[in-house]
Amino acid sequence: MGNTIVITGGGTGGHLKIADVFIDEFVKRGFEVIYIGSTSGQDIAWFENDKRLKKAIFLTTSGVVNKKGIQKLLSLFNIFKRTYESLLILKKYNVNTVISVGGFSAAPTSFATIFKKDCNLFIHEQNSVIGTLNKKTMKFAKGFYSSFYSNSAIKDYPVKEIFFEKRRVRKELKTIAFFGGSQGAVAINNFALNLASRLNQMGIKIIHQTGAKDFSRVKNEYEKLKIDADVFDFTKDITEKMYEADFCVSRAGASTLFELCANNLPTFFVPFKYAASNHQYYNAKALLEKNLCFLENEDDLNIDKFFEILDKVELEKISIGLREFIKPNAIEKIVDDILKH
């Protein structure tokens, strides 16, 4: 195996979090890492100025799923062009190991890896429903890693160690957190505001991540209610917020879900209903089947039902169950497996 590794993929935070964990681990082991992403999505914001990287390359790509007619043909033609660009990059840096974390950002380099005979492709699939790209490329991969599929060599999900370091078993409900992700979730924001007065009367403190677009509105609504909530749009210290919370309401993207598991934080999941193949619902359903979370579609949210859950929730039992559900050091195990090839 050469000393230069390529990590490709992204578009959204879930894919990018996994890319970030892979970069950390390979750099720690003395490898040079090149990241190849897209000019679309959040890739540039995450990795453009990342000093861990030998190089960050952003190709002009966009998604193909949900496009039709001429737009779909143009997108496919563009991916073909960027695949050729990726192939030149792999040859220039003598790369023979590529890790794809999925998303449309990964398409050109994944295809280029397949075309380059002396290059091995490894795939990490975050979600319970395999993404469109990964379905097409997994049969060419040397290794396929997933927490949801029995054919995965390593089942544990790569979560940063800090989430395990900050974990604790919850025993009493004093603080509740609402997390809509870095982009925010209006449905969760509105639900939190509808619950706020009653939570305040119960003496339960509120932590609320709103997302940038809805921050001012939500902050103003708490002020009108005269509730001293911890309201913020985005923070890189989300582990501190999780540590403070005893219960959580959250979207069910895979990275967020497993971070909450690692933190042992009992959660009421509200999946993003427009997620591809409804994968957020099925992510959370895997936990629900083990009685380790609560799950409700956003169109079915009910205030009284939520307070019934709060009244009966066995925080300690769920926290301990979550501790057994996910183990630390997953990224070390996955990279160990990759390096065997």
Residues 142 and 65 in one domain: yes
Residues 208 and 118 in one domain: no
To the question of whether residue 62 is assigned a binding role by annotation, the answer is no
Residues 173 and 154 in one domain: no
Residues 100 and 205 in one domain: no
To the question of whether residue 280 is assigned a binding role by annotation, the answer is yes
To the question of whether residue 297 is assigned a binding role by annotation, the answer is no
pLDDT by 10s per residue, the chain, length 341: 679 999 999 988 889 999 999 999 999 999 999 999 999 889 999 999 999 999 999 998 766 555 556 665 666 667 889 999 999 999 999 999 999 999 889 999 999 999 998 999 999 999 988 888 899 999 999 999 999 887 787 888 999 899 999 999 999 999 999 998 666 699 999 999 999 999 999 999 999 999 989 999 999 999 999 999 999 998 878 999 999 999 999 999 999 999 999 999 999 999 999 888 899 999 999 999 999 999 999 999 999 999 999 999 999 999 999 998 888 999 999 999 999 98
User: For the domain that residue 214 is a member of, what is the CATH number?
Assistant: 3.40.50.2000
Please state the separation of Cα 218 from the chain's center in Å: 24
Residues 290 and 152 in one domain: no
pLDDT at 268: 98
Closest to 47 in 3D by CA, of 34, 63, 28: 34
Residues 193 and 145 in one domain: no
Quote the tokens at residue 158. 């790569």
Our CA dihedral for 199, 201, 204, 206, rounded to 10 degrees, sits at 60
> E strands along the chain, which residues?
4-8, 32-38, 55-59, 97-100, 120-125, 143-146, 175-179, 205-209, 230-232, 247-250, 267-269, 294-295
Cα separation, 181 vs 184, whole angstroms:
5
Residues 131 and 263 in one domain: no
pLDDT at 155: 83
Instruction: Give the Cβ contact number of residue 69 at 10 Å.
Output: 7
The size of the chain, in residues, is 341
To the question of whether residue 151 is assigned a binding role by annotation, the answer is no
Question: Using only C-alpha atoms, what is the Rg of the chain?
Answer: 21
* Structural domain span for residue 75: 4-159+328-339
Please state the separation of Cα 283 from the chain's center in Å: 11
pLDDT at 77: 63
Enumerate the β-bridge partners of residue 208.
Answer: 178, 231
If you write DSSP's letter for every residue of 68-133 in order, what string do you get?
-HHHHHHHHHHHHHHHHHHHHHHHHTT--EEEE--SGGGHHHHHHHHHSTT-EEEEEE-SSS--HH
Residues 153 and 194 in one domain: no
pLDDT at 235: 83
Residues 190 and 257 in one domain: yes
pLDDT at 153: 78
pLDDT at 266: 98
Quote the tokens at residue 221. 């609504």
To the question of whether residue 13 is assigned a binding role by annotation, the answer is yes
Residues 247 and 150 in one domain: no
C-alpha atoms less than 13 angstroms from C-alpha of 25 in its C-beta half-sphere: 24
pLDDT at 69: 61
pLDDT at 67: 53
Q: For tokens 């509808």, what's the residue?
A: 194
Cα separation, 96 vs 3, whole angstroms:
9
What is the rounded end-to-end Cα distance, in angstroms, of the chain? 8
Give the torsion sign (CA, 2, 40, 231, 284). Answer: negative
Residues 196 and 302 in one domain: yes
Residues 290 and 207 in one domain: yes
Instruction: Give the Cβ contact number of residue 277 at 10 Å.
Output: 14
Quote the tokens at residue 243. 């540590």
To the question of whether residue 4 is assigned a binding role by annotation, the answer is no
Quote the tokens at residue 179. 């997390």
Total domains, the chain: 2
